[in-house]
Structure formats: C-alpha cells, structure tokens
Amino acid sequence: MGISDRLLGKKNVNGKPHIEAVHPSAALPGGEVRIVGSGLRPIDLRPPRVRFGEVDGAVVISSDDFLVARVPPGASSGPVVVSTNGHASNPHQMNVAVPIAENLHPVTNPALDAEGNIYVTFSGSRGQKVPVAIYKIDTNYNVKPFLSDMMNPTAIVFDRAGQMYVSSRYDGTVYRVAPNGTMSSYAEGMGIATGIAFDREENLYVGDRSGTIFKIARDRQIFVFATLEASVSAYHVAFGPHGDLFVTGPTTSSFDCVYKIDPHGTVSTFYRGLGRPQGFAFDTTGNLYVAASLSGKRGIVKISPEGQASLEVAGPSLVGLAFAPGRSAVLATTSGVHRLSWNIQGLSMLAE
C-alpha cells in the first residue's frame, strides 16, 4: 500500500467522505461533473448529498470512490461538498458560469467589440424572420436590441477598425453593420454562409457549410480558398496564433474533426474525435477551446497544440465561446449566454 492509499484509508476511519478532485473544474448549470475521492457513498447505499455552494445538485451515479453530479440551476462558483452518514467532506472549489442573457438563439460564438460589449444572435430557424436579429449586451450586462432587419444572422466578427460584419445563412450574404445598426452588403453568393474570420492582412474568410471556404480580399475579390466535407450545421472558423485557419463543421459522424488550413489553402486534420464540434477560440499559448462532446460528455473541450484533448467545462447545448477581458469567457448555448471566470488569457479575435 502506497502513502496515498494509507492516507485515504485514514481519512475513512470515521466514515467521513473525502474529495480528491472534481473534473472538470468548471461547469454551466446542467453540466455533469465527476467527483473523485473516497467514502463518497453512504453505508446504507442511499445517494449521497452533493451541494454546490448553497444549492443541492442531482446525483447521477454514485460509488465509494467517485460520483457524477449535475450542477443545479442557481449554483455559483464556490465550494462543492459531499455529505454521507452525517459527515461532510472537505470543500473543493469549482467555477460555475453565471447566466447573463436568456431567450436568445446563438448558433456559434458570441462576439466582443473593443470596449467589451457582447453581441449575440437570435438566429431562428432557416427562413424565419425574427423581431430582433442581434442583441447587444453592455459591460453591465444590460441586454438591448441592436439589429432587426436580417434573416438568420449566423456569425459576427469585427475588423481592426471595429467595424462589424455578420453572415446570413439565409441569403449567403456577409453584411457590414454600422454602430447605429445600419447594414449594407459586403459580399454576396457565399452559399450557406456561416463562420467568418479575418486574417492579419484583413482578408475575410467565409465558411459555406455546403463545402467551401471563401477568401474575400480587401478589394472584395472572391476566391475559393479551400474545400471540405459538407456540414449538417455550420462551418465555424478562427485563426490560430501562427496564421493557420482552423475549421469545425459537424457531420453525421460522432467522430468529427478540427481542420487546419495553412496560408496556401492546404487542408490537414488537426484533431479527430469530437461529437458535433461548433464554435471555438484560442488562448494566447495556442490551446484551442471548442464547444463539442468528448467521449460522450458535452462542454468546452481544450485541445493543446500537440493535439491532446480534455474536457475543461461541462455544460449542455453549448455552441460557442469568446474570451473576454479580465480572464473570463462568454459561453453561448442554444438559448442564452453565460459568463465564466476562468483565469485564461484569450487570443484577440479582432483583426490584428
């Protein structure tokens, strides 16, 4: 028996539960986390009690050395405690994302302007005209209508000057939107236009989910940059720290890819093994964070530059994320937006 085994044995002499780790260490309400330790199941085999701060979570699976619990609505960042046989475990800290806007319909990443305001779509079903297409969430988290007259807004990006661009998967157009909400056509004929991103030279790249990545030069000449397998959902695109374009595009497979396209348009597979990968973003050290499922668990998956994947945030219905000032992240689900204090420095998505 090793030292750690002896220590665990001593911790269980009085039947007191002990938490060694919680994985992942961050979650949205509704996300499932795995709590590892010892003495986590009561002697009478009743489910243990798991509290996230002051709120009880639902126990999905329990055993003596691990349990799976669902983060409840109303939970906030703070201690997780397991109680069994009248004893409470040591507290273990975890971060819980806080909802900041509901009743929306994002289909990819939210976007932040240079002042930290958040923009998010109410995309609607294909061909659906909604009263408000894009909402603005200011730095005090006040939600206000920003843009009305657009069908199926999909992705939002800002150029170096702070000008907003929005793709519409309805009419295949990329629109340029002024700060007062006035919009004009920037590029047409983009197929089922979904993800958009600028490179360092301010060329705009547009993902047509039917199988094409378009490149739009600053003079608005349009080129076919790369071709990929068609997506059932969208192409989500972003540039990595070394100038390569990364793309996710969910297919009918449960073992989808993150693609890397070099500046010459050569496509390679960066990582394979995700379920329905959606929007993503990079941190300053080159780690990629993507809304996807990994080994059947939904959330935000971190993929290192070396291609090592791990689930970092647990949460259902996630479709994208954007890093925000103050080492935080804005997480988008199919119905709303959350803020997570995360201590990760994101790579700026503004054209540089």
Tokens of 53: 């701060």
- Give the separation between CA 56 and CA 74, rounded to whole angstroms: 10
293 and 280 both lie in a single domain = yes
- Give the separation between CA 253 and CA 237, rounded to whole angstroms: 19
What is the domain-level CATH number for residue 125? 2.120.10.30
Number of domains the chain is built from? 2
Q: What is the pLDDT of residue 350?
A: 54
- Give the separation between CA 35 and CA 110, rounded to whole angstroms: 31
Smallest CA-to-CA distance from 312 within 333, 296, 298 is with: 298
Residues 165-199 pLDDT 10s: 999 999 999 999 999 999 999 999 999 999 999 99
Residue 313 placed within a domain: yes
Q: What is the pLDDT of residue 101?
A: 95
- Give the separation between CA 296 and CA 284, rounded to whole angstroms: 28
Q: What is the pLDDT of residue 145?
A: 96
Q: What is the pLDDT of residue 188?
A: 97
Q: What is the pLDDT of residue 138?
A: 96
- Give the separation between CA 247 and CA 236, rounded to whole angstroms: 6
Exposure letters 311-326 (e unless 16+ CB within 10 A, then b): bbbbbeebbbbbbbee
307 and 195 both lie in a single domain = yes
Residues with Cβ within 8 Å of residue 13, at least 6 apart in sequence? none
293 and 159 both lie in a single domain = yes
Tell me how far CA of residue 103 lies from CA of 130, 135, 296, in angstroms. Answer: 12, 11, 26
86 and 140 both lie in a single domain = no
42 and 150 both lie in a single domain = no
Domain that holds residue 160: 98-341
Which positions of the chain have pLDDT values less than 70?
Answer: 1-14, 349-352
- Give the separation between CA 278 and CA 291, rounded to whole angstroms: 5
Residue 340's Cβ-count burial label (10 Å; 0-12, 13-18, 19+) is buried
Q: What is the pLDDT of residue 349?
A: 58
76 and 197 both lie in a single domain = no
Q: What is the pLDDT of residue 4?
A: 43
Residue 351 placed within a domain: no
Residue 298's Cβ-count burial label (10 Å; 0-12, 13-18, 19+) is buried
Q: What is the helix (H) or strand (E) element at residue 4, kind and residue range?
A: helix 3-11
